């Protein structure tokens, strides 16, 4: 969430930034002049603007109108020492109207009741393990040259970042068979997997150290990992099926 504070009073600016920090908002830009804030908003996305009203050059009402020209969905929260501007705030469809000095409860309530929801960027790489396995890039399933390359990725994801040696992977993909032919084929599968991931900028997702393979769980999102964290959406999404196209797929 990208937030700006615009107020010509130093104490008021500092107090509001401190309250936002206490509420977990760290991406906050502070301005003492409306013109500077408007220039920033023309070059950067602003989700929430906390504005004083009585300011020189351009007051908060005028600034709010200009900000909405740059982004119609910006959430404007007026923070002022005067109540007589509330009618103007309503006409501008402001998200909130706080009287100074701002309190943490009122700031928190304003953030919880924004008029325009903040869009959360979807993860570029996402692994779906509940039901059938697929690996998505920018919302589209990734196509693999070999089905076994896809299965190798699925297996590594299923062990949650732990390492697996060639024999472990062969046991999952080919059963008990582990001979020279299988080892050669596993090398081809790994090569195809890396070429596929590299083609979409995901070469670092799979790691190899000697003959041990693993995935970097920090580089992609996964419903299984969200489930492990207790995420309600992931828990509700799990219907008892896990990587159903693979015999080893047991959660």
Cα separation, 171 vs 183, whole angstroms: 11
pLDDT at residue 82 greater than cutoff 80: no
Q: Which of 130, 83, 80, 116 is nearest to 100 (CA)?
A: 80
| Cut 0.75: pTM above it | no
Report residue 123's pLDDT band, with 50, 70 and 90 as the boundaries.
confident
Q: What dotted CATH number matches 125-237?
A: 1.10.10.10
Tokens of 63: 């600034």
Cα separation, 172 vs 91, whole angstroms: 63
Report residue 15's pLDDT band, with 50, 70 and 90 as the boundaries.
very high
Average pLDDT over all residues of the chain: 91
CATH 1.10.10.10 boundaries in the chain:
125-237
Contacts of 86 (CB under 8 A, 6+ apart): 97
- Environment class of 152 (CB within 10 Å of its CB; exposed 0-12, middle 13-18, buried 19+): buried
Q: Specify the range with the lowest mean pLDDT, choosing from 30-44, 81-95, 177-191, 221-235.
A: 81-95
pLDDT for the residue numbered 115 = 85
pLDDT for the residue numbered 121 = 57
pLDDT for the residue numbered 27 = 87
Q: How many CB atoms lie within 10 A of CB 42?
A: 13
CATH 3.40.50.2300 boundaries in the chain:
3-112
More confident residue, 39 or 90: 39
pLDDT at residue 122 greater than cutoff 70: no
The verdict on domain 3-112 having CATH code 3.40.50.2300 is yes
- Overall residue count recorded for the chain in this entry: 251
- Detail the DSSP E strand segments found in the chain: 3-6, 28-31, 48-51, 75-80, 96-99, 125-128, 134-137, 140-141, 164-165, 206-209, 212-215, 221-222
Give me the helix-helix angle, 166-174 and 180-198, nearest 10°: 90
Angle value at C-alpha 218, between 215 and 219, nearest 5 degrees:
75
pLDDT at residue 234 greater than cutoff 70: yes
Percent of the chain predicted with pLDDT > 70: 98
Report residue 152's pLDDT band, with 50, 70 and 90 as the boundaries.
very high
Interval 117-134 mean pLDDT = 84
Residues 28/72, Cβ–Cβ less than 8 Å:
no
Q: N- to C-terminal Cα distance for the chain?
A: 35
pLDDT at residue 251 greater than cutoff 70: no
């Amino acid at each position: 969430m990208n937030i700006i504070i615009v107020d010509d009073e130093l104490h008021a600016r500092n107090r509001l930034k401190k309250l936002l920090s206490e509420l977990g908002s760290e991406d906050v830009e502070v301005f003492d002049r409306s013109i500077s804030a408007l220039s920033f908003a023309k070059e950067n996305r602003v989700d929430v603007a906390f504005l004083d009203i009585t300011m020189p050059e351009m007051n908060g009402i005028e600034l709010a109108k200009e900000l909405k020209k740059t982004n119609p969905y910006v959430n404007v929260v007026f923070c002022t020492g005067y109540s007589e501007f509330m009618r103007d705030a309503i006409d501008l469809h402001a998200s909130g109207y706080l009287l100074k000095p701002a309190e943490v409860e009122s700031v928190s309530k304003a953030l919880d009741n924004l008029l325009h929801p903040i869009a959360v960027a979807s993860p570029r790489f996402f692994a779906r393990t509940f039901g059938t396995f697929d690996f998505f890039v920018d919302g589209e399933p990734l196509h693999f040259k070999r089905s076994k390359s896809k299965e190798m990725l699925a297996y590594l994801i299923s062990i949650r970042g732990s390492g697996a040696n060639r024999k472990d992977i062969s046991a999952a993909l080919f059963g008990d068979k582990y001979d020279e032919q299988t080892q050669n084929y596993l090398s081809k599968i790994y090569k195809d997997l890396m070429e596929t991931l590299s083609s979409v900028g995901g070469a670092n997702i799979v790691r190899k150290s000697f003959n041990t393979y693993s995935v970097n769980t920090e580089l992609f999102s996964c419903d299984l990992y969200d489930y492990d964290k207790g995420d309600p959406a992931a828990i509700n999404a799990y219907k008892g099926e896990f990587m159903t196209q693979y015999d080893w797929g047991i959660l």
